[in-house]
């Protein structure tokens, strides 16, 4: 099985179209020389790690070559501007954002139910998302730090879009409040079924 080069969904051999994003899986692909991710053969950069496959210059220092772009925002980076951990190119603004096997942490919470609702709403708005909690800690070959935290992960290339969506749903104290993923109706904490359309909320 290989991962879809667009969204990362695992594809069985012979599958023509990705069920996650509609990508035509039979298009020509290549392997990123840096992270070994399968990517479209005509890609300018690896969507997973940010390695540039074309000649480019640094966005901040146009006289310097850029071997990569920030995997999270796409800013072209020279070696001086690079703040990544070796596996992923990152700009200074995103240096502290954890990336786990091509998935970036877009938000951390203490409540798994709230995280699940945010995941459902991101997916309803077209952004692939996963919740990773304490029960998932053995599935990742990296140190995840505090296991009491529930993390919401999105593919690196969807990080900026997911941050914008979450920010548009935050109140003045930083609480995130989405509506029902089916009809958009807001609901109170602890409600398990949308009062407007009957959709299960977790």
Rounded distance between C-alpha atoms, residue 109 and residue 115, angstroms: 7
DSSP string, 148-176: TSEEEEEEGGGHHHHHHHHHHTB-TTS-B
pLDDT in tens, 86-116: 889 999 999 999 998 889 999 988 888 888 8
Q: Is the pLDDT of residue 161 over 80?
A: yes
- The answer to whether the beta carbons of residues 201 and 121 sit under 8 Å apart is no
* Contact of 76 with 69, CB cutoff 8 Å: yes
| pLDDT tens sequence across 44-92 | 999 889 999 999 999 999 999 999 999 999 999 999 999 977 889 999 9
Token output for 71: 């995997």
Rounded to two decimals, the pTM is 0.70
Q: How far apart are CA 130 and CA 152, in angstroms?
A: 6
Q: What is the DSSP letter of 94?
A: G
Helix and strand totals (H; E) in the chain: 2, 10
Question: In the predicted model, what is the mean pLDDT of the chain?
Answer: 82
Reading the block at residue 183, the tokens are 């009809």
Q: What mean pLDDT is predicted for residues 37-43?
A: 87
Per-residue pLDDT at 184: 65
The whole-number average pLDDT for the span 132-139 is: 65
Q: What percent of the chain has pLDDT over 90?
A: 37
Annotated domain spans of the chain: 97-202
Please say whether the dihedral angle defined by the alpha carbons of residues 136, 138, 140 and 146, taken in this order, is positive or negative. positive
Top-confidence range, 109-118, 135-144, 149-158 = 149-158
The CA radius of gyration of the chain, in Å to the nearest whole number, is 18
């Amino acid at each position: 099985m290989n991962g879809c080069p667009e969204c990362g969904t695992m594809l069985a051999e012979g599958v023509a179209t990705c069920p996650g994003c509609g990508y035509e899986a039979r298009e020509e692909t290549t392997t990123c020389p840096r992270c070994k991710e399968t990517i479209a053969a005509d890609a300018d950069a690896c969507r997973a790690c940010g390695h540039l496959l074309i000649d480019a210059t640094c966005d901040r220092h146009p006289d310097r070559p850029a071997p990569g772009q920030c995997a999270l925002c796409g800013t072209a980076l020279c070696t001086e501007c690079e703040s990544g951990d070796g596996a992923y190119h990152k700009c200074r603004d995103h240096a502290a954002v954890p990336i786990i096997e091509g998935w970036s942490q877009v938000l951390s919470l203490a409540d798994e139910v709230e995280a699940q609702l945010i995941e459902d709403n991101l997916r309803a708005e077209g952004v692939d998302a996963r919740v990773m909690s304490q029960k998932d800690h053995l599935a990742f070959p990296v140190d995840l730090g505090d296991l009491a935290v529930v993390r919401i992960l999105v593919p690196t290339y969807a990080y900026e879009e997911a941050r914008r969506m979450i920010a548009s749903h935050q109140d003045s104290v930083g609480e995130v409040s989405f509506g029902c993923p089916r009809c958009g109706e807001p609901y109170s904490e602890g409600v398990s079924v949308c009062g407007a359309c009957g959709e299960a909320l977790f």
